[in-house]
């Protein structure tokens, strides 16, 4: 199977090439030329498998230039008991007493389920892909005959940085350098990063906000002189964000896996529809759901949930994408984003794979800050998606009321999705069973969650974790409590204009 660029279908490369390159030379994103099908029979057989086996099966259908033994090895290393605190890897937890799969609840079954994607080493859903990406990437380098080593550069607002560090630590032929905004990440997120182990890792604080760090990384990527110099020393630069196909592909697996778990729990039979509500930022997570649906997974609706940065709500509702709007810092910061890069892949798919049209929209976005899709694309969106948003105050209310009524504690991002699901149900009356994609442990955003429970401002740093455990009677993830004994390895902070020099000295 080949991969095409969304901006020029004449660009056709192997899976290994697509993952080694990350971005197509024309600036487009790589997409598979066809989606493998998923029949009812196949779904039935996936029901009897472990998460790792499901991953091997589904990823194998996309990675025809990899052997099944290779993919098996990747899955064993990525989704192991060493990294994840539950053998289910991505457990489905039901609200309500008869929910079956999860913990006991207190009310009647509601057909609402939480797909907890945060049982990995860094307590956020980024682990589902970033535990896998290093294996895919290094194998792709081998396959494509790339002789240089790769340095992953990351600008992070918190979750991606730590998940990428954990995934790439001590991976052969790689180094990873993470830049985080000095005052733009939570105490827990900063400690997670600056204590990271591994001989090939580096972490630097940058004066300024996330955009300053991000702009700095973009400048470094487009510096041809630096690229040449690094190449001379046997290095090239790559990115770990969700433009890489190797980050998107592992995410398709958990949609299928959740569906199978609902079948196994006796709540649906194969063929029944399920809706998914997804807290959305860069559109990577929900796009994986779209691909699962296109493959044949019976998904009714994909519900796209945003915070106050509601550019996607407007897009899904009107067909107009307009990034010229105020940027809000919210209590669900991993969704504070105005340009959702993966939307390009959706538009390519829904335009009938029209590369000229897709390229045109992307040009308009960078030149004028907006574009409007055709009525044809808009009506395709209407058949699949529904969108709304949830502000900070409402997010806190949802956390508090769900905890009080159901005993279920969720983080701010998950609360946004749950709220938007309830709005969808109220507006449409659709009673299809629904899965809320839960993207972070409540402990990762302990300050906001404590605030929601009316216990804000009493603790700071790692004290927030103890406080949340005490208040909620839940058990914090071990990697977060283990931060307490860890030595700070990286305490350096630099100015944004020193980032390029930092990359040079990291590699040469
Ligand atoms: C990254 C992230 C999101 C947004 O996911 P996208 O794939 O960018 O849409 C949502 N919640 C959390 C906790 C995240 O870390």
| Whether the CB of 243 sits within 6 Å of ligand 1 | no
- What is the percentage of the chain residues whose pLDDT exceeds 70? 97
Q: How far apart are the first and last CA of the chain?
A: 37
Q: What is the pLDDT of residues 213-271, one digit of tens each?
A: 888 888 898 899 999 999 999 999 988 888 899 999 999 999 999 999 999 998 899 99
Bridge partners of residue 30, in order along the sequence: 5
Residue 99 reports pLDDT greater than 50: no
**Residue 96: per-residue pLDDT:** 67
Q: Which residues contact 479 (CB under 8 A, 6 or more apart)?
A: 121, 122, 123, 192
What is the bridge-based pairing of β-strands 201-206 and 320-322? Answer: unpaired
Please, what is the angle between helix 343-350 and helix 375-384, to 10°?
Answer: 110
**pTM value?**
0.94
Give the Å distance between the CA of 75 and the centre of ligand 1: 22
CA distance 237 to 23: 12
Please, what is the angle between helix 40-47 and helix 245-264, to 10°?
Answer: 80
CA distance 300 to 111: 14
Q: What is the pLDDT of residues 104-161, one digit of tens each?
A: 333 335 689 999 999 999 999 999 999 999 999 999 999 999 999 999 999 987 789 9
CA distance 16 to 162: 25
Q: What is the pLDDT of residues 489-506, one digit of tens each?
A: 999 999 999 999 999 999
Q: What phi and psi, each to the nearest 5 degrees, are found at residue 86?
A: -145, 140
Residue 313 class from Cβ within 10 Å (0-12 exposed, 13-18 middle, 19+ buried)?
Answer: buried
CA distance 375 to 126: 34
Position of tokens 């993919």? 71
In this structure, is the dihedral angle defined by the CA atoms of residues 292, 296, 298 and 302, taken in order, positive or negative?
Answer: positive
228 is catalytic: no
Q: Which of 29, 121, 123, 124 to mutate to test the pocket of ligand 1 (most atoms within 8 A of CB)?
A: 124
Q: What is the DSSP letter of 97?
A: T
Give the Å distance between the CA of 342 and the centre of ligand 1: 12
- What is the percentage of the chain residues whose pLDDT exceeds 90? 82
| Whether the CB of 341 sits within 6 Å of ligand 1 | no
CA distance 30 to 42: 26
Residue 103 reports pLDDT greater than 90: no
Bridge partners of residue 277, in order along the sequence: 303, 436
Q: Which of 304, 439, 440, 449 to mutate to test the pocket of ligand 1 (most atoms within 8 A of CB)?
A: 439
**Residue 210: per-residue pLDDT:** 79
Q: Which residue has the higher pLDDT, 408 or 460?
A: 408
| Whether the CB of 126 sits within 6 Å of ligand 1 | yes
Residue 102 reports pLDDT greater than 90: no
Q: What is the pLDDT of residues 299-354, one digit of tens each?
A: 999 999 999 999 999 999 999 999 999 989 899 998 988 888 899 999 999 999 99
**Residue 110: per-residue pLDDT:** 63
Q: What is the DSSP letter of 316?
A: H
């Amino acid at each position: 199977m080949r991969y095409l660029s969304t901006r020029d279908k004449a660009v056709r490369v192997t899976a290994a090439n697509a993952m080694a390159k990350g971005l197509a030379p024309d600036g487009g994103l790589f997409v598979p030329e066809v989606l493998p099908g998923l029949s009812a029979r196949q779904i039935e057989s996936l029901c009897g498998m472990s998460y790792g086996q499901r991953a091997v099966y589904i990823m194998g259908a996309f990675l025809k230039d990899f052997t099944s033994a290779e993919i098996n090895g990747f899955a064993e290393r990525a989704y192991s008991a060493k990294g994840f605190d539950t053998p289910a890897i991505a457990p489905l937890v039901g609200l309500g007493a008869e929910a079956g799969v999860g913990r006991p609840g207190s009310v009647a079954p509601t057909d609402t389920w939480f797909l907890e994607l945060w049982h990995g080493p860094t307590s956020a859903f980024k682990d589902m892909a970033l535990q896998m990406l290093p294996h895919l990437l290094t194998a792709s380098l081998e396959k494509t005959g790339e002789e240089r080593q790769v340095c992953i550069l990351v600008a992070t607002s918190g979750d991606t940085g730590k998940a990428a560090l954990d995934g790439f630590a001590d991976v052969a032929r790689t180094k990873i350098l993470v830049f985080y905004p000095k005052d733009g990440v939570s105490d827990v997120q900063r400690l997670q990063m600056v204590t990271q182990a591994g001989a090939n890792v580096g972490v630097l604080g940058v004066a300024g906000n996330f955009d300053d760090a991000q702009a700095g990384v973009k400048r470094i990527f487009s510096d041809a002189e630096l690229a040449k110099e690094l190449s001379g020393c046997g290095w090239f630069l790559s990115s770990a964000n969700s433009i890489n196909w190797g980050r998107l592909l592992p995410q398709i697996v958990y949609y299928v896996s959740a569906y199978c778990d609902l079948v196994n729990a006796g709540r649906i039979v194969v063929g029944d529809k399920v809706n998914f509500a997804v807290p959305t930022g860069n559109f990577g997570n929900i796009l994986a759901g779209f691909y699962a649906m296109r493959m044949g997974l019976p998904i009714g609706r994909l519900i796209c949930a945003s915070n106050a940065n509601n550019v996607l709500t407007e897009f899904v509702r009107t067909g107009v994408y307009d990034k010229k709007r105020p940027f809000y810092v919210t209590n669900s910061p991993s969704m504070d984003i105005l340009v959702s890069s993966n939307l390009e892949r959706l538009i390519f798919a829904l335009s009938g794979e029209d590369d000229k049209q897709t390229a045109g929209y992307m040009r308009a976005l960078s030149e004028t800050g907006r574009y409007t899709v055709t009525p044809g694309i808009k009506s395709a969106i209407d058949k699949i998606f529904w969108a709304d948003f949830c502000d900070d105050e409402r997010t806190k209310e949802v956390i508090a009321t769900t905890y009080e009524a159901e005993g279920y504690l969720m983080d701010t991002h998950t609360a946004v999705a749950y709220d938007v699901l309830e709005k969808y149900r109220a507006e449409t009356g659709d009673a299809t069973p629904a899965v809320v994609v839960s993207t972070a442990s409540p402990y990762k955003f302990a300050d906001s969650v404590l605030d929601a429970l009316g216990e804000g401002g009493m603790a700071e740093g790692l004290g927030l974790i103890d406080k949340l455990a005490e208040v909620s009677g839940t058990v914090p993830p071990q990697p977060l409590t283990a931060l307490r004994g860890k030595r700070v390895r990286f305490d350096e902070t630099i100015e944004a204009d020193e980032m390029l020099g930092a990359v040079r000295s990291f590699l040469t």
